[in-house]
Amino acid sequence: MVLKLGLTILKAVKNSYPVLRSGKSAMPKGLKFDLKNPYILEVLPEKGLGNLKKLEGKKLNTVCRVLDREDFPALLSRYEKLSSRGGFRDEEFQILYKKAFPSGKVPSDINLDAFVFLNDLKPEIGAKFDAHGLAKVSVTDQLKQLHTLLTRGINKDKPFFTAPLSCDPKLGSGLGTGGGHAYRDGSFIVVSGKGKSIAGDGIEHVIVNDAYYPIVADLRQKFPNINFVRADGAVEYFNSL
């Protein structure tokens, strides 16, 4: 990319508009970055079009400032990495909620399966998996919290505590999660790979509690690289690993 590409683009677009008596350009405020604009295309480098498509539709002034940042290549690389993870659009969440809760209300007697079934997961097996239960926000927010973890990763600026998926309560009493294992009374439990950590290696499995059984297929389709398992089948699943 050429030096100060953003400034070059901004000048080219400004020059395409007449100058007012005040000496200011008549360029509209809030103009969007548009790759169909011939004045923008004229100053773009030959190999710049592919990368810049990701910025189309954003505010022109903002795009130009981003382009002139010294860390723009690293910024774009990070953006592409996050974008490639996909995820649900805002309007899709409402569809998922209706599928999970047809009555429009979240029942009070839900998310009991993980609490019951995971009691049969032997400590020597569960201890090999790093886990984190999403249980401290509302049931609807837990879906969005899961979505954020799977699309953006863990926010390393905030505490993120994990515990074994299952362990001997006597050995795990210092972990601050009740039974020494990850919380089980929420809608989801995110789990690492065998012998790995969530912070260092990422999320490989997600245990879905009974509140969201109706959308397990939707989750699998949207995040094909993650293994989603129902809580009532989690013991058999992790035993097999």
Give the pLDDT band of residue 239 (cuts 50, 70, 90).
Answer: very high
Per the DSSP assignment, residues forming a β-bridge with 19 are 25
Give the pLDDT band of residue 62 (cuts 50, 70, 90).
Answer: confident
pLDDT at 2: 47
Mean per-residue pLDDT of the chain: 87
pLDDT at 203: 95
pTM for this one? Answer: 0.65
pLDDT at 126: 95
Question: Which has the higher per-residue pLDDT, 135 or 157?
Answer: 135
What is the dihedral angle through the alpha carbons of 156, 159, 164, 170, rounded to the nearest 10 degrees?
Answer: 150
**What distance in Å separates the CA atoms of residue 49 and residue 161, rounded to the nearest whole number?**
42
4: phi then psi, degrees, rounded to nearest 5 = 55, 50
pLDDT of 236 higher than 70: yes
pLDDT of 194 higher than 90: yes
pLDDT at 46: 66
